[in-house]
Amino acid sequence: MFGIQIEINGDPYQGTAYQAGNGILIHLPGVQSPYASAFEALFQPLPGDRLSGGFIEAGEWDGKAFPFEGDLLFGLGPDGAVWAKVCESLQELPVVEAVDEKTSRAWRILAEGDEAFGVKSTVIERAAGSNRLAPSTIPDYLMLIEEEAEIQQKAAARLPETSQRMILVRALQGIASELRELGFTPALAPRLEAMGDGSRRCSGDHSAELSYLPG
**How many whole angstroms separate alpha carbon 179 and alpha carbon 109?**
8
For residue 16, CA distances in Å to 4, 44, 140, 196, 201 come to 6, 23, 42, 55, 58
Task: From 149, 208, 151, 138, select the one nearest 180 (Cα to Cα).
Answer: 138
Give residue 33's pLDDT.
Answer: 61
Domain boundaries, the chain: 1-36, 39-97, 101-201
Give residue 186's pLDDT.
Answer: 93
Dump pLDDT digits (tens) for 167-215. 889 999 999 999 999 999 999 875 334 444 444 443 333 333 333 333 3
The model's confidence at residue 97, banded by pLDDT at 50, 70 and 90, is low
* 27-30-35 Cα angle (round to 5): 75
Give residue 211's pLDDT.
Answer: 32
Dump pLDDT digits (tens) for 50-86. 888 889 888 766 556 778 888 888 888 877 888 888 8
Give residue 77's pLDDT.
Answer: 82
Query: Once rounded to an integer, what is the mean pLDDT over residues 20-32?
Result: 68
